[in-house]
Amino acid sequence: MKFQTHDSVPKKRIIQESGEGLGLKGGHGRNKGGVYGPGGFCICAKCNTKVPHKTGMKCTDSKCPECGHTMIREELLVEKRNKIREKL
């Protein structure tokens, strides 16, 4: 895909490999690239059900056994809730 400027000079689209982003977070995406390690818990943001995290499986790939909502890594949920509190 090419982009054109007002003077009709085409600009090349720059394609980067995954994880090489130039953003503030270093291109690691959600969950800081998995720095929470193999242990810990997955938690339901809806009903607060807590289950042990399974190594090699993302929490977001599992559903809450109680309500069926998508699970989230406990540390990530705590960070999100803290950010919300800071804004208040």
The residue extents of the domains of the chain are: 38-88
Q: How confident is the model at residue 16 (pLDDT cuts 50, 70, 90)?
A: very low
Share of the chain above pLDDT 90, in %: 31
Whole-angstrom CA distances from 55 to 4, 29, 51, 61, 87 are: 47, 19, 13, 12, 33
Query: What would the two tokens of residue 31 be?
Result: 């969950």
- Give the model confidence (pLDDT) of 52-83 as tens digits: 998 888 899 999 999 999 999 998 888 888 88
pTM as predicted: 0.56
In degrees, rounded to 5, the angle at the alpha carbon of residue 82 between the alpha carbons of residues 81 and 83 is 90
Closest CA to 41 of 59, 26, 15, 14: 59
Q: How confident is the model at residue 37 (pLDDT cuts 50, 70, 90)?
A: confident
Please give the Cα distance from 53 to 40 (Å, whole number). Answer: 6
Predicted local confidence at residue 72, as pLDDT: 92
Cβ distance 50 to 69 under 8 Å?
no
